[in-house]
């Protein structure tokens, strides 16, 4: 199977200073930069999913192309080939775990039918908006970047974080966030202090 690395499937710890860094390619630019149909589709996806730029689409497209390449290579092998059984099942389980492949479609043929939208739906930004924690898809990105959102006990500030199926129900506001019952924000504290000061001034006038 063609090897590929992507943070969708792996958790990477912070790299110590001076350690070798992973400089592998994470996205691939389109061969035809001015193709009208593709430009319209990318612009629609950027607006619908609140993406920062088209590079986020290209990154998912590059990952998807590697997954399809691996699936096509495994499909050329016999049904009972040990490599196809082992690597094919591992690939399918990972796709089911992150929610891009349904459990009733656990076959390599269905892997070839996956689309970029299937991965965009599993982004934390999309899930926060669909759960009603944000007013819009763009508001969801702001909440995540300002560390108002947690997945389980961990605060996640990466909008492109891929949410697994078993983690989806644990998405909520951070315990330290004003939205989650934590300390009030700076503007709210300032207004409360001004209101308290105003009440104190009125009491002195009454005396």
Contact 137, 48 (CB under 8 A): yes
- Give the model's pLDDT for residue 66: 95
Please report whether residue 179 resides in a domain. Answer: yes
Count other Cβ atoms within 10 Å, centred on residue 10: 8
Residues 109 and 41 in one domain: yes
- Give the model's pLDDT for residue 188: 76
Residues 142 and 182 in one domain: yes
- Cα separation values, 125 from 131, 171, 188, Å: 10, 11, 25
Query: 181 or 199: which carries more pLDDT confidence?
Result: 181
Residues 58 and 78 in one domain: yes
What are 194's two structure tokens? 């001004």
Does residue 11 surpass a pLDDT of 50?
A: no
Domain that holds residue 127: 123-207
Does residue 5 surpass a pLDDT of 90?
A: no
Q: Taken in order 3, 4, 8, 10, is the CA torsion positive or negative?
A: positive
- Give the model's pLDDT for residue 12: 44
> What is the value of pTM for the model shown?
0.79
- Structural domain count, the chain: 2
Mean of pLDDT values over 80-104: 95
């Amino acid at each position: 199977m063609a090897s590929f690395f992507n943070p969708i499937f792996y958790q990477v710890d912070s790299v110590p200073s001076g350690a070798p860094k992973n400089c592998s390619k994470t996205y691939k630019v389109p061969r035809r930069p001015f193709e009208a149909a593709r430009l319209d589709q990318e612009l629609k996806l950027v607006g619908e999913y609140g993406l920062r730029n088209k590079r986020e689409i290209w990154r998912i497209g590059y990952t998807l192309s590697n997954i399809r390449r691996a699936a096509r290579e495994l499909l050329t092998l016999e049904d009972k080939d040990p490599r196809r059984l082992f690597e094919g099942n591992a690939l399918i389980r990972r796709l089911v775990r992150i929610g891009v492949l349904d459990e009733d479609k656990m076959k390599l043929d269905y892997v070839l039918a996956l689309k970029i939208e299937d991965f965009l739906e599993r982004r934390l930004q999309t899930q926060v908006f669909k759960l009603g924690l944000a007013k819009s898809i763009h508001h969801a990105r702001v909440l995540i970047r300002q560390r108002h959102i947690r997945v389980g006990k961990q605060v996640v500030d990466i909008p492109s974080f891929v949410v697994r199926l078993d983690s989806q129900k644990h998405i909520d506001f951070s315990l330290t966030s004003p939205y989650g019952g934590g300390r009030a924000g700076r503007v709210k504290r300032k207004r409360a202090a001004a209101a308290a000061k105003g009440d104190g001034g009125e009491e002195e006038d009454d005396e």
